[in-house]
Amino acid sequence: MAKSNKRESTVVKTSIISILANLILVGFKAFIGFMANSIAIISDAINNLSDALSSIITIIGTKLAGKAPNKKHPYGYGRIEYITSFVVSAIVLYAGFTALIESTKKIISPETPDYTATTLIILTAGIIIKFALGLYVKKTGQKVHSDSLVASGIDAFNDAILSISVLISTIVYMVFHISLEAYVGVLVSLYIIKAGVELIKKSVDNVLGVRVESKLVKSIKNEILKEEKIQGVFDLILNDYGPDKYLGSVHIEVPDTLSVADIDKISRNITKNIMKKYGVILHTVGVYSINTKDENIIKIKNQIHDIVFSHQGILEMHGFYYDENDKIISLDIIIDFAIKNREELYKQIYDEIKSNFPGYALNITLDIDAND
């Protein structure tokens, strides 16, 4: 809870700083834009205003995401941050299209600007402020895992680049009396649109659910393997309910000689340790039993292993168990998503094992390649 509150405080503080900086820039740029009759500078000011709006949305999203879980939303409101990140990304995209439209208009109907030394000073100061703000906001966003802040930081960098193009075109006009700002504005607008599309794609991916970071998965598996008697860790599924908010489940392989009390103790140790070290809630620890009482079963397992891995696209086989009383062979296989028809390959493997072990009932699960 303390960690969550600290994160929320950091996001809000960073967003407030961003709002104040952008409002200052809006005032100065709007003033010199109207004085110099420059549509490019006025558009730049409007873009800074959209940044301030983005930061306000980030604050609202962070506050809503921090609401306590309730009966309707037992896993909390953390995913609201992904929605606000999408909104911020949409604002970036809108700013890009707006800048493109205004730049195109100026190409069709050019206007004569009236730049001064004050114009150059304010534009230069704005560029420095925007680069510094972008670096600060993006770095803070990465530190606290806030996609909204990262998006705002990237947007600030884009704005600085846009302002550089305006500054360059201003200098060129003052020295050579050649107006380039509209053409430069088109190129920069396309760059901003591209950045907006990429940010929206990332936001959508977070809402849909993406593969969990490999480093985290491997660290959790290795931590679980430290527990005595565990011989394998599989099927670690982590569901993302907001930045750094994971709930999940896992399967462990243990010898069939353990009692229910032994397994219960192991399970409780795992959930406690993983929560303490990673802040991840493992609400379910499933068990795969390993045959230890008959060496012939090991031969059967090796035969089936060879059959399974004789096919391309097999990533893993686990959870093997032979029920001697009912003559049931159980196992899970993971097939690479790169295989076009995973169900067809599964059927081929199933039929091949069945033909080699006709007297056995098969319980083969087609597992998913959820993590590394």
Q: pLDDT digits over 274-292, tens only? A: 999 988 999 999 999 998 8
Statement: residue 3 has pLDDT above 70: no
The answer on 163 and 41 residing in a single domain is yes
Query: Amino acid letter at 33?
Result: G
168-219 pLDDT, tens digit per residue, is 888 888 888 887 777 877 877 787 788 788 878 888 888 888 888 888 899 9
User: What whole-number distance in Å separates Cα of residue 160 and Cα of residue 339?
Assistant: 45
The answer on 128 and 259 residing in a single domain is no
Instruction: Please check whether residue 181 lies inside any domain of the structure.
Output: yes
Burial of 295 (0-12, 13-18, 19+ CB in 10 A): exposed
Measured in whole angstroms, the distance separating CA 325 from the mean position of its chain's CA atoms is 47
**How many separate domains does the chain show?**
2
The answer on 93 and 238 residing in a single domain is no
pLDDT band at 20 (very low <50, low <70, confident <90, very high): very high
Instruction: Please check whether residue 133 lies inside any domain of the structure.
Output: yes
Predicted confidence at residue 357, as pLDDT, reads 92
Domain boundary among 151, 178, 208: 208
Provide mean pLDDT across the span 121-126. Answer: 88
Domain boundary among 183, 208, 233: 208
CATH assignment of the domain containing 161: 1.20.1510.10
Token pair 């008697």: residue: 229
CATH assignment of the domain containing 298: 3.30.70.1350
E strand or H helix that includes residue 369: none
29-45 pLDDT, tens digit per residue, is 888 888 887 777 777 78
pLDDT band at 352 (very low <50, low <70, confident <90, very high): very high
Instruction: Please check whether residue 310 lies inside any domain of the structure.
Output: yes
Instruction: Please check whether residue 372 lies inside any domain of the structure.
Output: no
242 closest CA partner among 155, 147, 153: 147
User: What whole-number distance in Å separates Cα of residue 1 and Cα of residue 248?
Assistant: 19
Predicted confidence at residue 303, as pLDDT, reads 94
Question: Residue 273's domain spans which residues?
Answer: 214-367
The answer on 230 and 196 residing in a single domain is no
Domain boundary among 208, 237, 261: 208
The answer on 219 and 170 residing in a single domain is no
Statement: residue 270 has pLDDT above 90: yes
Query: Amino acid letter at 223?
Result: E
Instruction: Please check whether residue 93 lies inside any domain of the structure.
Output: yes
Predicted confidence at residue 318, as pLDDT, reads 94
The answer on 340 and 256 residing in a single domain is yes
Statement: residue 347 has pLDDT above 90: yes
Q: Which DSSP string do the residues of 184-243 spell out, in sequence order?
A: HHHHHHHHHHHHHHHHHHHHHHHHH--PPPHHHHHHHHHHHHTSTT--EEEEEEEEESST
The answer on 139 and 55 residing in a single domain is yes
The answer on 268 and 203 residing in a single domain is no
Strand-pair partners of 170 = none
Instruction: Please check whether residue 23 lies inside any domain of the structure.
Output: yes
Tell me which of 108-112, 153-157, 228-232 is least confident.
108-112
pLDDT band at 269 (very low <50, low <70, confident <90, very high): very high
Provide mean pLDDT across the span 314-325. Answer: 92
Distances (CA, A) of 321 to 163, 315, 370: 65, 19, 22
41-80 pLDDT, tens digit per residue, is 777 787 788 778 878 887 888 888 888 888 998 888 888 8
The answer on 244 and 227 residing in a single domain is yes
The answer on 273 and 347 residing in a single domain is yes
Predicted confidence at residue 1, as pLDDT, reads 54
User: What whole-number distance in Å separates Cα of residue 53 and Cα of residue 57?
Assistant: 6
Strand-pair partners of 127 = none
Global model pTM greater than 0.85: no
Distances (CA, A) of 363 to 288, 320, 332: 13, 10, 8
The residue among 219 and 157 whose pLDDT is bigger is: 219
The answer on 262 and 191 residing in a single domain is no
The answer on 111 and 238 residing in a single domain is no
71-113 pLDDT, tens digit per residue, is 998 888 888 888 887 887 888 788 788 878 877 887 888 777 7
Predicted confidence at residue 194, as pLDDT, reads 83
